[in-house]
Amino acid sequence: MTPARAATQAAMDAVHAPLLRLRERPLLFPDCFEQRVAESADRPWIHFEDRIWTFGGVNALANRIAAVALDAGLGRDDVVALVMQNRPEYFAVWLGLGKIGVRTAFINTFARGAVLAHAVAAAGARTTICDAPGAQALATLPQGARTGRIWSFDADGGSALEPLLAQASAADPPARLRAGITPDDDFVYIFTSGTTGLPKAARISHFRFVAAGVTTGGMLDLNDSDVYYNVLPVFHGAGGMVIPSVTVHLGIPMVLRRKFSASQFWPDVRRHRITTLQYIGEICRYLSNQPPDPRDRGHTLVKMSGAGLRADVWQQFRDRFGVGRIIETWGGTEMNCSTMNLDGPIGSCGRVPFRERSNLRLIRYDQDTGKHPRDAAGRCIEVGPNEPGEAIGCIADPAGTAGATFDGYRAADDTGRKILHDVFTPGDRWFRSGDLLRMDADGYCWFVDRVGDTFRWKSENVSTEEVANALAAFPGLCMINVCGVRVPGTEGRAGLAALEVVDVAAFDPAGFYRYAAERLPDYAVPLFLRLTPGTDLTASFKLRKTELRREGYDPALVCEPLFVLDETAGRYLPLQPDTAAATLARLGIPPFGGD
């Protein structure tokens, strides 16, 4: 039975109510942290490997970092790039710098060369703090990009930071050093981790940082007995903002891992009596693909929230591990609109109970032109029930429209490209999410795809996400990544599915075709397959499609088993370098021409 709209709205209002109180009593995040230390200095905050860091212990290190930065001449509005793997010192760095008004840019530790140079330049950083792996990344910078001071925690690739910290004061720096900074001012920069293009430095204000913890704590109904598990990269919005914010807000511990490990996940949960998880992307699929264990339900994890959990994995994960409270959300680090599934069906990412209470709208998007169709009056067109559309969020203006703040990116050009103008009324402004959602008649939202991931084939739109969902339960399949690839001389793109399978030798091409044909319309059945020993993911566990599109179905570029569909034969045929040209020619498919 579908919950009443009013009941869903009341639950959402209860989650958001504390945000109004935040506005009445504005605080910077360093202020919130120092208040937490005053109340709970000796309480554990971070369990990392074999050491426990208390709130007071992290605060002392943060204060030493602040003192070193002040001695070096850093101050209000300076930016420091942080290139470090998951470790407690990471949190101390941005806390300490924030105490003196310095902003920290969280840099992807997997970035190299020109991409890393772009991130550091986009942040406007002239000082960098790193660890040994971060120093190795910095060593790949082009010669002209190697500017500014580098401090290293491991004395590798920069000036050693530990001797400076040993001599620095552990006392809180004077609060006057951040006098005049408001909750709406920038606190940190978190780079968007998209699957294509160069990352953008999202502006994260003190208010947004604090609000992330308040909202998450209320959404999951957390209390001081909970323990949070942090297996995500701390340069990411979930691992680096949401989890530290909620644990500081409630004074509860987090268990931090250097990186996610499927084999150590449940042992960690049992050892630390972890109750709460922030998931993202494919983490739950990895866990579901682990061999069955008699202790699968012998754990303390009872609630979790995140994004990107497919319906099939959701059901499998819940049934196998018995986690009763799973809240799928939709949103993003910098977005001004979001949804949360507090009471809805498995697979939904949230609900809009009453249109007038939300700044979220779904509008038509043309895959062929990359534009939003407009009506005769020049206005964008809202989609109907169950029709995919790009999610946009109304941006509040000084006149107080029913929208929400969009802080944008550090680069004004990046901000401008994410704003639509004159959408429904002259002068209005809306944030473009880049995500296609659909909304059913009850107001529940369902993620469809990223704009650009949906492709057109045989005059039909094909969603890579929906194809992946339909095929994900094929026996022996660990992971599936779907994209559209160009076929010379044809309109649109053909589907290519990269399959990570348990046993390549046992893969049945005919059986897979039968499975796909039973579950998908003919235009959505992938034309090409490739079998891969591992799935290419971003550091934040998002599927990477760029290389798949670039390599396409060219046997000279693809070093893995490659197949093409022969519908007449009812099976996929191998594309091997010596016979691929003849096979493609027989099927009337030209050789791959690049993307």
Per-residue pLDDT at 194: 47
**Which secondary structure element, helix H or strand E, spans residue 138, and what is its range?**
helix 132-138
* Residues in the chain, overall count: 595
The residues of the chain that CATH labels 3.40.50.12780 are 5-330
Which class in CATH covers the domain with range 457-587? alpha beta
pLDDT in tens, 219-238: 999 999 999 999 999 999 99
The residues of the chain that CATH labels 3.30.300.30 are 457-587
Q: Please name the fold of domain 5-330.
A: Rossmann fold (3.40.50)
Per-residue pLDDT at 193: 55
The residues of the chain that CATH labels 2.30.38.10 are 359-449
pLDDT in tens, 327-376: 999 998 999 999 999 998 999 999 999 999 999 999 999 877 789 999 99
Q: How far apart are CA 507 and CA 246, in angstroms?
A: 45
Query: 195 falls in which pLDDT band (50, 70, 90)?
Result: very low
pLDDT in tens, 458-513: 767 788 888 888 898 899 998 898 999 989 988 778 999 999 988 899 999 999 99
Mean per-residue pLDDT, 46-50: 96
Query: 203 falls in which pLDDT band (50, 70, 90)?
Result: very high
Backbone angles phi, psi at 207, to 5 degrees: -60, -45
Per-residue pLDDT at 559: 87
CATH superfamily of this structure's domain 359-449: Luciferase; Domain 3 (2.30.38.10)
Output the DSSP codes for 512-559.
HHHHHHHHS-GGGS-SEEEEESS--B-TTSPBP-HHHHHHTT-TTT--
Contacts 24+ apart (CB under 8 A), 192-196: 192/332, 192/333, 192/334, 193/108, 193/236, 193/538, 193/539, 193/540, 193/542, 195/450, 195/538, 195/542, 195/543, 195/544, 195/545, 195/546, 196/452, 196/545, 196/546
- Does position 148 have pLDDT exceeding 80, yes or no? yes
